[in-house]
Amino acid sequence: MRIPINLASEPFRRDRAVLVASGALSAVLIALLVFLLSLNSVESGQVAQTRKALARLNSQLQAVSAQQARQDAILRKPENAQVLERSLFLNALLFRKGISWTRIFSDLEQVVPYNVRIMAIRPSVTGSNQILLDMTVGSETPTAVIDLLKNLENSPRFGAVYSHNELPPTQTDKLYRCRVSVNYVQKL
């Protein structure tokens, strides 16, 4: 074991820069920790508020569902079944009556090319209360019918277009015919 007697025998180390840098880094890390803890407390408060709002909305939903179930039970009673069926029938009739032929032809006028004729048109209401137009169109050239199909697909008033069958011209009928079904969006 050797005891150092002379302090000059060991050279001076320069640790001050390392100590200052590590102190500054630890201060920055402590400030970052305080910032993250405050963000965590704010977020947990917002989560608690969101959970309370969700619980309140769930209780309101359960109350409305229970009320709907009570009303459905009243409507499904045998003495009320006839009135319910009649009201559903009348609502369906009113919805079908609300289909405007004028609006249908006005909207078709914007998409039908000049050289295409509408031979027949049958609007119908689907089970999901959408209007479906079943049309038979005719033209002297098949390209005019293709233009009609493109126009229908690009129009915001009409949806998907389905071409069912195509008939070429005959000796008695000089028109190229096509049967088309298209979804129609009409504001009632």
pLDDT at residue 85, as a whole number? 80
Question: Within its chain, how far is the Cα of 62 from the centroid?
Answer: 25
Dist CA 98 CA 180 (whole Å): 23
The one-digit pLDDT tens for each residue of the chain (188 residues) are 666 665 566 666 677 888 899 999 999 999 999 999 999 999 988 998 999 999 999 999 999 999 999 988 887 787 777 777 887 778 777 766 767 778 888 888 888 888 888 888 888 777 666 788 888 888 888 888 888 888 888 888 887 888 887 877 777 778 888 888 888 876 55
pLDDT at residue 37 in the model: 94
